[in-house]
Amino acid sequence: MMRKTSLVLLGAVSGAAMTLLVSQPHMLLSGASAKAAAAADTYRQLNLFGDVFERVRADYVEKPDDGKLIETAINGMLAGLDPHSSYMDAKSFRDMQVQTRGEFGGLGIEVTMEDGVIKVVSPIDDTPASRAGILANDFITQLDDEQVQGLTLNQAVEKMRGPVNSKIKLRIIRKGVDHPIDVTLVRDNIRVRSVRSRVEADDIGYIRISSFNEQTTEGLKKGIADLQNQLGDKIKGYVLDLRNNPGGLLEEAVNVSDAFLDHGEIVSTRGRNPEETQRRSAHPGDLTKGKPLIVLINGGSASASEIVAGALQDHKRATLIGTRSFGKGSVQTIIPLGSGNGALRLTTARYYTPSGKSIQAKGIVPDIEVLQDVPDALKSRTDTKGEASLRGHLKSDGQEESGSQSYVPPDPKDDKALKMADDLLHGIKSTTNTASAATVPPAPTDNKPAAGKSTTEKPAAN
């Protein structure tokens, strides 16, 4: 029976590197002999693991939990592959399923593990974490006065979750702040409203997508319909804000891209074997009726949001404004392991934009770079290091790039990227900067991918 799997693109998690060795032709051993030797070596290593396991069980100073020993060994094996592969026990798997449905309990923080402590990737909009002022790049060192050092990412996330209305105390280290920050949060039932929309400058439809869960496509459709009902024919165009969006479900990224395209390839995913390549294409029907489109990205835009930005940029359907994106160009498959055994989150493919580009450890470069004016108190935390800085990340097929600015002003009046988008849509500006020129693309008549490309068909949260 085939296992049901789900493809996800999530924010970054840290781990150790392991080199994948590719055998070369002209081996000294024949094919059969090589396979036999490899199998023998594998069994020898498994015997070594069994010997160590039994020695720990017999001689450790305290009687260990056998289940915990196995789980830790599995986590270590997966962490040695890349930063995004991990093991989820049964509860973590259930929590993940709830999260991707867009509703879960906790604080509302996207987090990763870095140097043994919890690092905030992004607080989720309108949650206890965002209301308490927790910021991207904050480090959480204590939970209820207990040190985070020594915990796995899943263990730390588990401690941050709990019954609704219960309290938890966090100690935060913030770069540029001399002393630790203690904050007490009240856990809430987190309903992630991943899409928000509003009228901008009286005649522009602004749409903010904060993550990609099962509710995102319907939320986008509703947002577009609401804006069209409010503005009617006077709508000048749309701004799609993907800044600090850590990613989510691959299928939702495809559907969101499809909403703005009539046809053409959206993304291709390529696994280890050529036959595993899959291509996803748009269907007829641009929900915005060909209106001009601006997409906002920054250093916190990762994985699924990069798929959307890359597809719309390659098809010249949108002008991208902001700073270079995070650069996570891999796909994770969720593989259930049977009742009560949890699941694997395993990196199974890289993804490529319609023009055939991989953004792994590079990111997407906007058509127009706009840097925000950052308050002095926050200047030390406005840059995100990006995928290339993660230990054990999959290597790029070209030059790797560091991260970029991820600050978004809380007041839209101070948002220089949004102001640039408004000016472009109103025709006030038509060029980028002195380095290059770009205009808002007209309504597309033929959304074909770049020549030679076929048009046939991935952080923990609490």
What positions carry a catalytic annotation?
303, 314, 328
- Rg of the chain over all Cα atoms, to the nearest angstrom: 23
What Å distances lie between residue 370 and 209, 302, 409, 420, 450, CA to CA? 20, 18, 13, 8, 26
Q: Which two tokens stand for residue 326?
A: 């995070």
| Torsion, Cα of 218, 220, 225, 226 (10° steps) | 110
Q: How far apart are CA 175 and CA 180, in angstroms?
A: 10
Helix H or strand E encompassing 267? strand 265-270
SS3 state of residue 326? coil
173 Ramachandran zone, left/alpha/beta (phi>0; psi -120 to 50)? beta
Q: How far apart are CA 215 and CA 104, in angstroms?
A: 13
Query: Which residue from 210, 147, 152 is spatially nearest to 173, judged by alpha carbons?
Result: 147
